[in-house]
Amino acid sequence: MDTLSSLILQPFEQSPAWLNLVFAVVTAASAVTAATPTPSDDRLLGKLYRVIEILALNIGRAKDTGPRFKG
């Protein structure tokens, strides 16, 4: 089992520190956008959420569109 885990972790250990930081930012931003509801875009929180969505690479169809109204 140690061989498998070392095989998986080896590319991350050999990559530059800035690349690990990029992976960490994208992962954290993805977790935030997946765990929170989409706020209104006209408020400050909505604008901050939009920046976090961009950092999470939530673009196109991957983007959460917010609550849907039936009517």
List the chain domain ranges: 23-59
Q: Which pTM was predicted?
A: 0.61
pLDDT tens digit sequence for 26-48? 999 999 888 888 777 677 888 88
Mean pLDDT on 42-70: 75
| Model confidence band, residue 71 (pLDDT cutoffs 50, 70, 90) | very low
Q: Which residue has the higher pLDDT, 33 or 71?
A: 33
Calpha distance 40→9 (Å, rounded):
39
Burial 14-48 (b: 16+ CB within 10 A, else e): eeeeeeeeeeeeeeebbeebeeeeeeeeeeeeeee
Q: Which residue has the higher pLDDT, 12 or 5?
A: 5
Calpha distance 17→36 (Å, rounded):
29
